[in-house]
Amino acid sequence: MLWDVDTDYRQVIAELCPLFYGSAGKSMTAFYMEMDRAILHREGPRAAGYHPNTRLEFSLEELQRGRRILQDAVEKVGGDARLLRRVDYARFAHAILTLVRIRNDSQPSDRGRAMAQQATKDVAALQARYTMMVRRQTSLFLAPPGGTK
């Protein structure tokens, strides 16, 4: 299936999320589809020197919607620790994505700075709860600006 170029990845996500995320499956499907839509429907030219790691293609609104969907997924898993861990891994990645997006903005708005603070808190809380391996570059990135972690 993975090598079939005719596979509709949206259908695969819709089928697998309920199996993997259980009661949070619909929310997680909505999250992945929202992020997919945000990337696919990005309008306008890319800046000279564009690199995909700058992650400016996501608007603050799209990132906030993604976080809200993930929070909804947390509520839906209830007390199931296994499902919560799965959702939390997506929350961790989304928080890092939010930080990358806002830190790459040369002049972040007050709203952006507030979102970065929340994402920083989310990352710290999730790292304290789970043992999550990240690349050295990511670890350095997560260190407070001007400080060490």
- Report pLDDT for 103: 86
Q: What is the identity of the amino acid at 93?
A: A
Q: How far apart are CA 57 and CA 15, in angstroms?
A: 27
Q: Tell me if 1 is assigned to some domain.
A: no
Q: Tell me if 131 is assigned to some domain.
A: yes
Phi-psi region of 21 (alpha: psi -120 to 50; beta: other; left: phi over 0): alpha
What total of structural domains would you count in the chain?
Answer: 1
Q: Tell me if 4 is assigned to some domain.
A: no
* Domain housing 117: 9-142
Say if residue 54's pLDDT is above 60.
no
| ∠ Cα 41 4 15 (to 5°) | 65
73-117 residue pLDDT tens:
999 999 999 999 999 999 999 999 999 888 888 888 999 999 999
Q: Tell me if 148 is assigned to some domain.
A: no
Q: Tell me if 48 is assigned to some domain.
A: yes
Tokens 């891994």 label which residue? 89
Q: Tell me if 3 is assigned to some domain.
A: no
Looking at residue 102, the DSSP 8-state letter turns out to be H
| Mean of per-residue pLDDT scores for the chain | 87
What 3-state class would DSSP assign to 57?
A: coil
Q: Tell me if 147 is assigned to some domain.
A: no
> Around Cβ 66, how many Cβ atoms within 10 Å?
22
Q: Tell me if 70 is assigned to some domain.
A: yes
- Report pLDDT for 89: 97
Could you give the C-alpha distances from 136 to 52, 116, 140, 141, in angstroms and in order?
Answer: 19, 20, 6, 8
**139 compared with 53, residue with greater pLDDT:** 139
Say if residue 70's pLDDT is above 70.
yes
Overall pTM surpassing 0.95 (yes/no): no
